[in-house]
């Protein structure tokens, strides 16, 4: 019984943290019986277990779930709780004088980054391959933005490996995402606290300083255990954290009102567009080849681009349910619903161009299923492993600092290499001007490419300047 209850507690926390599922008493009792059957498998004279209502009440007492209301239980009124929290939030904002730039919301979402649709022949073929697990192609993302919608924190990505081959030689601290890892690609308390102190605080402080605003922040989170209620209460003197009541995120959490859905729509559109481009460029390439070629480096690029594509007006509008007064009327603004509908149509159009089973006949519900996909549920085997080591889901990463990326060997970027790239570009420019009969086209390409190359030109100047300084210092060295 003790082993079963420990694993059940882990399962409930994981369902609330990553899946954001509404867990009712019936589901908990059924899951308890399933886990009990699993842990007693092969044993003789097993005592029958019915998962009665009395047992459930005792279980909640034993695991300190006094303030945790299961959906469907008496007193579990989501709408009422949401309205009460909304009133409380507005009173805090008015009393302490927070402005739209200073109020933030953060939340996690699961990303099955290679999923192109269950009905597609790609996923059907892949699922038949030996050792295939969709779980492997999954990451957890933490997104955060403010109420004004003009500032988006860099996304945090939790992956299942510290240094995948696709990122060999790359500086993991200089990417479009904050890179963290654990074996299951789950968000855990250790990683969340690290994000709060080392990512969120510096980024927000820098942003507010640039706006000439006081560094005072109100951060809104859901009540998932991984968000470390006690640790965040007095974590920073300038940051106040409010936790939403259970089962209210779908009603009032801004990121759940369309921001995450819009983000995933942009991501999937890029995934499909890149696949179509590779098929169109090389007729011998198949969709399965294209799917296999997607690496975590591509995923990071798509995630960064998709997050950049979310407009300020879209973010600001998604705060309407919780803070109506902060929503502005942006000129020519397309509603969030319309925006997502157009993205869905765009994805379907690209899918039809790809063609093939599951693509040519893709329906709106197929795309909606991709946009609504959440994190995976831990299996009994996962619960066994976590229970064996007596660890909570929120502390799943090991005691060592392995949730932090190990520093790989980074290939140095030299002045000679940048000069080589610059020479290659000059050759391309000259060839285009000679061979392209439309001079305007080649000159436009040259202008745009030269502008894009500016960061490397600046780096080249810095490297040459440092090299000159080093040579000058040698004259003053003691002999």
* Cβ–Cβ under 8 Å, residues 222 and 244: yes
Hey, how many other C-beta atoms are within 10 angstroms of the C-beta on 342?
12
CA distance 357 to 37: 40
Hey, how many other C-beta atoms are within 10 angstroms of the C-beta on 231?
13
What's the distance, CA 455 to chain centroid? 27
Q: For 346, phi and psi rounded to 5 degrees?
A: -60, -45
Backbone CA torsion sign across 375, 380, 385, 391 = positive
Q: For 184, phi and psi rounded to 5 degrees?
A: -100, 0
Dihedral of CA atoms 165, 168, 171, 174 in degrees, nearest 10, equals -50
Task: Say if strands 156-159 and 178-181 run parallel, antiparallel, or are unpaired.
Answer: parallel
DSSP H/E element including 108: strand 103-112
Residues in Cβ contact with 307 at an 8 Å cutoff, skipping those fewer than 6 apart: 143, 152, 155, 176, 263
* Cβ–Cβ under 8 Å, residues 226 and 393: yes
For 79, half-sphere exposure in the C-beta direction (CA atoms, 13 angstrom radius) is 0
CA distance 49 to 55: 10
Tell me the H-state helices in 103-212. Answer: 121-128, 189-195, 201-210
Tell me the H-state helices in 282-412. Answer: 287-293, 296-309, 312-317, 336-354, 364-371, 380-388
Hey, how many other C-beta atoms are within 10 angstroms of the C-beta on 371?
18
pLDDT at position 395 is: 46
* Cβ–Cβ under 8 Å, residues 414 and 463: yes
CA distance 348 to 269: 9
Query: What would you measure as the largest C-alpha separation in the chain, in angstroms?
Result: 87
For the stretch 423-427, contacts whose Cβ atoms lie closer than 8 Å and that sit 24 or more positions apart, written own/partner, are 425/449, 425/450, 425/453
CA distance 89 to 76: 20
pLDDT at position 223 is: 83
pLDDT at position 132 is: 55
CA distance 408 to 162: 9
CA distance 199 to 179: 11
For the chain (479 residues), the mean pLDDT of every run of 10, in chain order, is 88 68 73 89 87 84 64 54 93 96 95 83 69 68 96 96 91 93 87 95 96 96 85 91 87 93 94 90 86 93 95 95 93 82 89 83 83 63 58 43 50 84 91 88 89 90 77 62
pLDDT at position 73 is: 44
| Rg, the chain, Cα only | 26
pLDDT at position 379 is: 62
| Number of helical H runs and strand E runs in the chain | 19, 6
DSSP string, 394-421: GG-S-SSSTTSPP-PPPPP--HHHHHHH
């Amino acid at each position: 019984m003790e082993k079963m209850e420990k694993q059940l507690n882990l399962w409930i926390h994981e369902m609330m943290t990553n899946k954001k599922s509404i867990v009712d008493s019936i589901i908990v009792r059924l899951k308890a019986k399933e886990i009990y059957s699993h842990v007693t498998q092969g044993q003789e004279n097993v005592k029958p277990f019915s998962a009665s209502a009395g047992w459930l009440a005792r279980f909640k007492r034993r695991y300190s779930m006094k303030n945790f209301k299961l959906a469907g239980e008496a007193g579990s009124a989501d709408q009422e709780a949401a309205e009460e929290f909304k009133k409380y939030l507005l009173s805090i904002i008015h009393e302490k004088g927070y402005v739209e730039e200073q109020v933030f919301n953060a939340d996690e979402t699961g990303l099955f980054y290679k999923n192109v649709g269950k009905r597609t022949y790609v996923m059907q073929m892949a699922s038949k391959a030996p050792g295939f697990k969709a779980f492997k192609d999954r990451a957890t993302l933490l997104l955060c933005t403010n109420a004004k919608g003009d500032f988006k924190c860099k996304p945090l990505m939790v992956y299942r490996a510290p240094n995948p081959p696709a990122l060999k030689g790359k500086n993991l601290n200089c990417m479009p995402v904050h890179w963290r890892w654990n074996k299951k690609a789950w968000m855990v308390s250790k990683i969340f606290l690290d994000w709060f102190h080392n990512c969120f605080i510096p980024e927000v402080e820098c942003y507010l300083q640039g706006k000439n605003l006081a560094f005072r922040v109100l951060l809104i989170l859901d009540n998932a255990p991984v968000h470390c209620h006690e640790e965040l209460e007095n974590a920073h003197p300038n940051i106040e954290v409010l936790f939403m009541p259970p089962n209210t995120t779908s009603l009032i959490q801004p990121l759940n009102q369309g921001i995450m859905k819009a983000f995933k729509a942009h991501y999937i559109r890029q995934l499909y567009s890149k696949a179509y481009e590779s098929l169109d460029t090389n007729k011998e390439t198949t969709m399965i080849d294209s799917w296999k070629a997607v690496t975590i480096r591509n995923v990071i690029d798509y995630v960064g681009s998709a997050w950049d594509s979310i407009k300020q007006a879209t973010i600001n509008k998604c705060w309407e349910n919780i803070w109506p007064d902060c929503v502005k009327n942006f000129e020519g603004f397309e509603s969030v619903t319309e925006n997502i509908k157009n993205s869905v149509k765009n994805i379907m159009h690209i899918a039809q161009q790809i063609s093939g089973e599951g693509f040519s006949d893709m329906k709106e519900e197929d795309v909606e299923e991709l946009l609504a996909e959440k994190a995976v549920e831990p299996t009994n085997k996962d619960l066994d492993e976590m229970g064996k080591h007596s660890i909570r889901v929120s502390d799943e990463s090991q005691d060592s600092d392995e949730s932090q990326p190990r520093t790989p060997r980074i290939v140095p970027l030299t002045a000679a290499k940048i000069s080589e790239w610059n020479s290659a570009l000059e050759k391309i420019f000259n060839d285009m001007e000679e061979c392209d009969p439309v001079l305007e086209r080649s000159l436009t390409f040259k202008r745009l490419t030269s502008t894009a190359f500016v960061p490397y030109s600046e780096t080249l100047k810095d490297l040459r300047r440092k090299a000159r300084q080093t040579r000058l210092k040698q004259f003053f060295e003691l002999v």
